[in-house]
Amino acid sequence: MPSISRDEVAHLARLARLAVTDDELDLFAGQLDAILNAVAQVSEVSQQDVPPTSHAVPLTNVFREDVVRPCLTQQQALAGAPAAEEGRFRVPRILGEEQ
Amino acid sequence: MSELIRLSAADLADKIHKREVSAVEVTQAHLDRIAAVDGAVHAFLHVNTEGALAAAAKVDEQIAVGEVASPLAGVPLALKDVLTTVDEPTTVGSKILENWLPPYDATVTERLRAAGVVILGKTNMDEFAMGSSTENSAYGPTHNPWDLERIPGGSGGGSSASLAAFEAPLAIGTDTGGSIRQPGAVTGTVGVKPTYGTVSRYGLVAFSSSLDQAGPCARTVLDAALLHEVIAGYDPMDSTSINQPVRPVVEAARQGATGDLKGVKVGVVREFRGEGYQQGVIDCFDAAVQQLRELGAEVVEVSCPHFKYALGAYYLIAPSEASSNLARFDAMRYGLRVDGGALGELSAEEVMSLTREAGFGPEVKRRIILGTYALSAGYYDAYYGSAQKVRTLISRDFSAAFEQVDVLVAPTTPTTAFKIGERIDDPLAMYLNDLCTIPSNLAGNAALSVPAGLAAEDGLPTGLPVMAPALADERMYRVAAAYEVARDAAQGGPLINRVPELEAISR
């Protein structure tokens, strides 16, 4: 049976860029453990020689014609931005102190 | 209360097109109804009064010069807040998109506007469509008009409740694991998940891209079919859109309504009953199957042995795709940004983490973490890989079943609507609501839920789901329409007429 520890949940939350609280970690660790125990039933078929299905409709490489078409204006693209400056997205610094 | 709000979409369209009533009057009657009862129901997150009246006035002008944009021109509709609209906020029930005004219309929105359908407003939903009760909305739960203390289903609880409360005759939902059909079942309304790829996902805020599918919600099977034909069709803006003509679902609904199912083979899925199923739900289902027999259908039992793995596969695949799709909410280009008021002091990564922590609710966080885990090196084969194999096995179960029968039936949901708050602390118990609906999302075939009757023990509605093969949506419409006629005859009128009068409750 799988089990997931509080430390693992904390690690996954970091990977997923979620600044979760200690209380959330306590709650989620228990809940996720129960959920994983339930869904692990699928591993019963893992040894079967069955092709995986990623998609209900088999489609590959859908292209459109390579022609110019209208798109969002700069103003539209920036309309929902938390911060914009000189027609561009204004973002926090990319590098941390140690970098 | 205006009698207009009790009419079906087909009847409303007929009156509007014959100029017995104007589209503006019809829209105003529904806006009045929303103003009167939505305080108690909370189906809507946003009501577009001016926009709706303007759209209705445009339809009236067109009709005055003899132009009717579509069979549903002038009929009002409630749109799930997961589809983008340039003139109304699109929040997906999440704080991370609070007040977001999208720069483009979803294809479904565009088609509705082109057809002259009047969009009244945007309906409440579980955040990012993750849930079965609409309790996961960041803006508070929606209440079931049959009993305001109970859930209206989810994720599309706003859409289903708006129909049952007579706030709108039509609604749009999206169905990733049952979010159209389960709300339909618990509110006594019709909900349809068309074949995957037949309704465009362009402008549908993504939860699980390989499963998400928009579809029609209504109070009658014919109304759902009319709406189906408005929104379905090939769209080059969606790379998974199927380039085939829209299925003749309206014709099938009209044929079904003649009440003859001779020559139709119906399969009852053996695996969907037993432990965990409410007795009243089973009784209503058995009565519905008996009615199908009386209509001339041949009913046989079929086995779909891999359906028992569907729930597990779904809760690996959907969170995995969600963890990837929701990575776009990074606080940089649109949506919420939490930076403590000090842009420049915190790094982009810190701002991202703080924003996502503040902007997402608990269920969304749980699923992102679960998906991140399932896709991790070392776990991928055991979890995600196995889930994809299950998907193949379930598709094969469907194929084998559809070699024997034309459509499949089973209960839509194991229980009737539960009380708000009853399952909110137990995510796993909540997931079990989707037990019967999930296989059709994994296989991509067509499925609907049509009201079946009231459970004896609590007087709450149940649903009869009908499942059809991919790109054979018309089959389920025919069967559902035939059943609807027989049910109304046997029960002395439409089920929805037995919903309690809301003003009386809210007082």
CB B215 within 8 A of CB B158: no
The separation between CA B87 and the C-alpha centre of its own chain, rounded to angstroms, equals 22
Contact B334 A80 (CB under 8 A): yes
Q: Which residues of B touch A7 (CB under 8 A)?
A: none
Q: Is B80 a catalytic residue?
A: yes
B110-127 per-position pLDDT tens digit = 999 999 999 999 999 999
Please report which confidence band the pLDDT of residue A57 belongs to, taking 50, 70 and 90 as the band edges: confident
User: In the predicted model, what is the mean pLDDT of residues B348-368?
Assistant: 97
The mean pLDDT value for B175-200 works out to: 97
B372·A4 Cβ contact <8 A: no
Average pLDDT for A52-71: 88
| Active-site residue, B179 included | yes
Decide if B3 contacts B104 (C-beta within 8 A).
no
d(CA B146, CA B129): 22
| Residue at A55 is within a domain | no
Chain B contact present for A10, CB below 8 A = no
What angle do helix axes B279-294 and B473-491 make, rounded to 10 degrees? 100
State whether residue B429 sits within 8 Å of chain A by CB.
Answer: no
Q: How close, in Å, is residue A30 to chain B by CA atoms?
A: 11
CB contact under 8 A, A46 and B389: yes
State whether A35 and B312 contact (CB < 8 Å). no
* A78 within some domain: no
pLDDT in tens, B314-333: 999 999 999 999 999 999 99
- The pLDDT tens digits of the residues spanning B366-386 come to 999 999 999 998 888 889 999
pLDDT in tens, B158-171: 999 999 999 999 99
Is pLDDT of A2 > 80? Answer: no
- A87 within a domain of the structure (yes/no): no
Q: For the residues B56-75, what does the mean pLDDT come to?
A: 97
Alpha carbons B166 and B368: distance in angstroms, whole number: 36
Range of the domain at A31: 6-44
What mean pLDDT value characterizes chain A? Answer: 90
Do the domain assignments include residue A61? Answer: no
Lowest mean pLDDT among A1-10, B116-125, B148-157, B404-413: A1-10
Question: How confident is the model at residue B505, as a pLDDT?
Answer: 55
Q: Does residue A29 belong to any structural domain of this protein?
A: yes
Q: Does B357 touch chain A (CB under 8 A)?
A: yes
CB B468 within 8 A of CB B475: yes
A11 touches chain B (CB under 8 A): no
pLDDT for position B507:
43
pLDDT for position B342: 66
- How far the first Cα of chain A sits from its last, in Å, is 41
The rounded percent of chain B whose pLDDT value lies above 70 is 98
Q: Is the pTM of this model over 0.95?
A: yes
Helix axis angle, B9-17 relative to B23-41, nearest 10°?
A: 150
Cα distance from N-terminal residue to C-terminal residue, chain B: 15
Catalytic site residue from B155, B241, B323, B449: B155
Non-local (6+) Cβ contacts of A26 within 8 A are A6
Q: Which of A12, A26, A42 to mutate to test the interface with B (most CBs of B within 10 A)?
A: A42
- Among residues B418, B396, B407, B416, which one has the least CA distance to residue B477? B407
CATH of the domain at A16: 1.10.20
Query: Looking at B179, B200, B208, B323, which residue is catalytic?
Result: B179
pLDDT of amino acid B227: 98
B381 touches A at CB < 8 Å: yes
State how far the Cα of A79 lies from the Cα of B86, in Å rounded to an integer. Answer: 12
CB contacts, 8 Å: B365 with chain A: 13, 18, 20, 24, 28
For residue B394, the model assigns a pLDDT of 96
More confident residue, B346 or B344: B346
On the question of pLDDT at A84 being above 90, the answer is yes
Helical pair B107-114 and B221-231, crossing angle rounded to 10 deg = 110
B221 CB-near residues (< 8 Å, 6+ apart): B190, B253, B256, B257, B450, B477, B480, B481, B484
The answer as to whether A71 is a domain residue is: no
State the greatest distance between any 2 C-alpha atoms of chain A, in Å, as a whole number.
Answer: 58
What's the average model confidence in pLDDT over B280-306?
Answer: 96
> Is A82's CB within 8 Å of B337's CB?
yes
How far CA B26 is from CA of B13, B57, B260, in Å, comes to: 10, 11, 34
**Average pLDDT of the segment spanning B404-431:** 90
Neighbours of A60 (CB within 10 A): 5
pLDDT computed for residue B467 by the predictor: 98
Q: Is residue A22 part of a domain?
A: yes
Question: What's the CA gap between B422 and B144, in Å, rounded?
Answer: 14
Closest CA to B100 of B116, B118, B88: B88
Q: Which of B369, B380, B398 to mutate to test the interface with A (most CBs of A within 10 A)?
A: B369
The residue-averaged pLDDT of B40-59 equals 98
Examine residue A79 and state whether it is found in any structural domain, yes or no.
no
CA distances from B206 to B29, B45, B107, B441 (A): 33, 19, 14, 15
Given this model, what pLDDT does residue B1 score?
A: 66
Lowest mean pLDDT segment, chosen from A7-11, B104-108, B270-274, B335-339: B270-274
Q: How far is CA B192 from the centre of its chain?
A: 7
Q: How many interface pairs between A and B have CB atoms less than 8 angstroms apart?
A: 191
The number of domains in chain A is 1
Question: Reduced to 3 states, what is the DSSP secondary structure of residue B442?
Answer: helix
- Taking the Cβ of residue B313 and every Cβ of chain A, the question of whether any pair is shorter than 8 Å is answered with yes
| Chain A closest-CA separation from residue B153 CA (Å) | 21
Catalytic site includes residue B320: no
Q: Chain B residue closest to A56 (CA)? A: B444
The pLDDT tens digits of the residues spanning B256-283 come to: 999 999 999 999 999 887 778 899 999 9
